[in-house]
Amino acid sequence: MKKTLGILGGMGPLATADLYRKIVLLTRADSDNEHIRVYIDGNARIPDRTAAILSGGADPMPEMRSSLRHLELCGADCIIMPCNTAHYYLPRLQAETEIPFISMLTETAKTCARAHPGETACILATRGTLASGLYENALSKEGVSFFLPGEGQRDVLMYAIYDCVKGGRPLDAAREPMKGLLRDLRAKGADYFVLGCTELPIAVRELALEGPFVDSTVELAKAAIRFCGYEVNE
C-alpha cells in the first residue's frame, strides 16, 4: 500500500521547494497519478536553528511542534525535514509523535559509506550543524572518514547559505570564495564533499561548482520515495 509524505518545511523556503522538486524528479512515474501524495507545511516562522544552538536564539521547538501537529492532522505516514541543522531537534520531535521521521543525516552517511569507501569527506554545513556534532556522529557510525572546514572556511559557507540563498542576494558574489574553499579543502585531503546544508545544493547548482558531492537533499528524497512504496529513478 502506498504511503503519504509530510514535509516539515520552511527552513528555508527555497530548500523546501528544492526537496519537493527532487522528490518529483526522482520518483519513477509515467503520469501525474503515479506520484506520491505530499503534504507540505512551509512554516517560515520557525526561528533560526543555528542561532538557537550557538547563541541562545529563539527556541524553534514551538513552531516546529505546530507544523508537526498540522502534518499529523493531514494524515502523513512519515515526516521529513529539509534542514540539516533542524535534525538537532529531531529526537524531541520524534518523542512527540508516532509518525516516523526519516533522518537525512543517517541516509547521507549511509550513502557516503556505500559510494565512497576508503575515501575522506569534508562536511560543508552551517556553524550550527558543525558545532552540534550531528554529522560527526552520523558518519562515525558508518565508519566514514571525514574532517571539518576551518573557521575562515565556515565564514564562506555561512555567507553563501545565509546572505545569498536565504537572503536572496546574488550568488555570483559567492562564486570565487566557494571555488577557493573547495580547492583548499581538496588540498587538505578531501576526496568529496557532504552538502550538509539544504541551501548548499542550490548554491552548487547555480554556481556550477565541481565536486564530487553527496547531496543530503537528494538522499532524503530517495529515502522518502522508497518509504512511501515508490521506485527511485536512479
pLDDT in tens, 57-77: 999 999 999 999 999 999 999
Do residues 80 and 94 lie in contact, with contact meaning Cβ atoms separated by under 8 Å?
no
Which grid cell is 143? 565508519
Nearest to 82 by CA among 101, 99, 66: 101
Distance CA 204, CA 127 (A): 18
Q: What domains can you pick out in the chain, each with its CATH number?
A: 5-103+218-227 (3.40.50.1860), 105-216 (3.40.50.1860)
Distance CA 52, CA 142 (A): 28
Q: Which of 83, 122, 164, 228 is catalytic?
A: 83
Distance CA 114, CA 139 (A): 12
Q: Which of 112, 122, 164, 197 is catalytic?
A: 197
pLDDT at 234: 84
**Helix and strand totals (H; E) in the chain:** 11, 7
Distance CA 23, CA 30 (A): 14
Which grid cell is 86? 533542524
Encoded amino acid at 33, one letter: N
Distance CA 192, CA 146 (A): 9
| Phi and psi torsions of 38, nearest 5° | -125, 135
Q: What is the pLDDT of residues 178-234, one digit of tens each?
A: 999 999 999 999 999 999 999 999 999 999 999 999 999 999 999 999 999 999 998
Helix extents (H) in the chain? 13-26, 49-55, 61-74, 90-94, 104-115, 127-132, 134-141, 151-158, 175-187, 200-207, 216-227
Do residues 78 and 224 lie in contact, with contact meaning Cβ atoms separated by under 8 Å?
yes
**56 to each of 48, 108, 197, how far by Cα in Å?**
11, 28, 21
Judge whether 83 counts as a catalytic residue: yes
pLDDT at 1 exceeding the cut of 90: no
pLDDT at 17: 97
Count of C-beta atoms within a 10 Å radius of residue 8: 30
Mean pLDDT, rounded, for 8-28:
97
* Model confidence, pTM: 0.96
Mean pLDDT, rounded, for 97-113:
98
Q: How confident is the model at residue 13 (pLDDT cuts 50, 70, 90)?
A: very high
Which class for 78: exposed (0-12), middle (13-18), buried (19 or more C-beta within 10 A)? middle
Judge whether 164 counts as a catalytic residue: no
Greatest pairwise CA separation for the chain in angstroms: 50
Q: What is the pLDDT of residues 112-154, one digit of tens each?
A: 999 999 999 999 999 999 999 999 999 999 999 999 999 999 9
